Structure 1
């Protein structure tokens, strides 16, 4: 009889991850995922625009969450401290979700096919951080300093994730706190 049909985005995502772990990302097709879920290809595309979107999950919703964390930052908190606190909180996960998140980030950071897609998504994340920095610094978001802050905070976060993936015992929150904290030392003295 086979597996029951999957009609949940979350369950479909986990099935995809199981197949990626078993076969590899590039060797798993949308048709493979749909077949494993007991659904048609067209139904898959109701949940995800592409196989890459399945890996990224609800990225747009997560950007809304990051924006809310940044918006909620106390006005008196120094800019880089506010960014560090928001980034650490944004990347806090229930322990039951951590293995899935680790698999997701390993795919995103290590699969060449996904790295090109990552550039587009990271641009959205970076822009959100740059806009926050611009508001705090009372500068246009297109100015050099907000753009530099957006880019370097992203680089610090990616570096922390790479360290986390390299060491299963590492604490992601601590690595992010350390990476953005060390970056902040270079921005000391900025207003905002």
Structure 2
């Protein structure tokens, strides 16, 4: 059975690369979906089939990414202490190929340093925290919206964002090492204060 309509003429990755080029040249707020569509060589309607809004582009295929995050957390050994499983999950979630385009660093720079993205990012962060809360709840026999799972999700996001900010401030910094340091620093603080 053949599908009707025009064949797919682009991909999420092509759109992201084109959009990030435009964002780097003109700034996020100056670029429109029409500009991105023209850069890719498709109509605006086609572009909206891939991304609901310009604000979604820096987040990539976020729903698929969250599904991958769930799989990462589910793959953690059941005998691994919960705090370690969550930490390792966050680290693996942040492993990207060095040649990824746009790079993880460029993506996080745009997300964390673009005021126009902050409200949209809050929604994405809530979904990310929710994945951790689901995992914690399943391990502890709680509901994802119980206080402890929600707290673990929020604290995990806070330590990750702290590591991202340090990483963006130092081009030579290693994100995995910063995620380790943020997690260890928080544990030390909680145990010794």
TM over 0.5: yes
Shift in Å at residue 158 of structure 1? 0.7
Structure 1 contact 81–184 (Cα < 8 Å) conserved: no
Say whether residues 1:169 and 2:167 are aligned partners. Answer: no
Higher RCO structure, 1 or 2 (CA under 8 Å, sep 6+): 1
* Length-normalised TM-score, structure 2: 0.89
Equivalent of 1:88 in 77, 86, 91 = 91
Name the structure 2 match of 1:145: 148
- Give, in whole Å, the separation in 2 of the partners of 1:66 and 1:27: 32
The equivalent residue for 1:51 is: 54
Structure 2 SS opposite 1:125: helix
Match of 2:129 among 104, 119, 126: 126
Deviations 1:119-148 (CA, angstroms, capped at 9, x unpaired): 101111101111211222222222211111
Q: Structure 1 residues 87 and 133, CA, compared in 2 at 3 Å: closer, same or farther?
A: same
Contiguous gaps of at least 5 residues in structure 1:
none
Inter-partner Cα distance in structure 2 for 1:185 and 1:98: 36
State the secondary structure of the residue aligned to 2:28.
coil
The residue correspondences of 1:65-104 to structure 2 (distance < 5 A) are 65-97=68-100, 100-104=103-107
SS of the counterpart of 1:95? Answer: coil
Counterpart residue number, 2:157: 154
Give the Cα separation in 1 of the matches to 2:147 and 2:100. 37
Contact 1:34 1:44 in 2 (8 A): yes
Provide the aligned C-alpha RMSD in A: 1.8
Using the TM superposition, name which of 165-174 and 128-137 deviates more. 128-137
Residue 131 of structure 2 is aligned to residue 110 of structure 1:
no
Are 1:30 and 2:33 counterparts? yes
Quote the Cα distance in structure 1 between the aligned partners of 2:146 and 2:43. 47
Contact preservation (8 Å) 2:12, 2:61: no
Q: 2:89 and 2:101 mapped to 1: Cα distance? A: 19
